Structure 1
Amino acid sequence: YFPIPLAVLAAIGLVGVFSGAANTPIACTLMAMELFGAPIGVLAAIASFSSYAISGHHGIYSSQRIHIPKSKYASKTIDLLTFFCKKASIKK
């Protein structure tokens, strides 16, 4: 049980998903403060930046380029389908 209204949690979820999908945590935090009021800013920032950090380098905008890696492991990609197919000895 959270002592936070359900509408606020839904707003934070919306901001977090959009921030991760668009790779724009600052803009999404400001958008949340604009749409839902300034007191939501801290929660929106936490959701936005955590979603941005774990979302990877692909977003909803195909022309967007991320010039600075989010982490030192970001350049290492794993083809999970190939990995699991090899483990299970299944051909694609």
Structure 2
Amino acid sequence: MNHSPFSRVIDNGHLILRLLNRGELDLADIEIDKYLGSLEDMFSGIKPETNLNTEERQILEQFKDIFTLIEEQKSSVESELLQFAKAGRATKRYKSNAG
């Protein structure tokens, strides 16, 4: 098994995606901190307009996938919270009108 820095980042990204898909947000949050640190280490020295190699492009694609999944889950949670708030307001109105 290849244990290069790139393969470790890719493996960590796969773990994050699995955790997010299973709803294990606390564990995913811990892994994301490590993942972002690794990305910073890998990409901080790269200048704009630099052509990325295949591994670097693969890592950026994976990052986009993680970001997209987080945004989708965030929107889903926000929608659920909005529905919960509406239900709470409806319950409050019902109670005040009932009696």
Instruction: Give your verdict on TM over 0.5.
Output: no
More helix by percentage: 2
The alignment's TM-score, normalised by the length of structure 2, stands at: 0.31
Q: How high is the TM-score relative to the length of structure 1?
A: 0.32
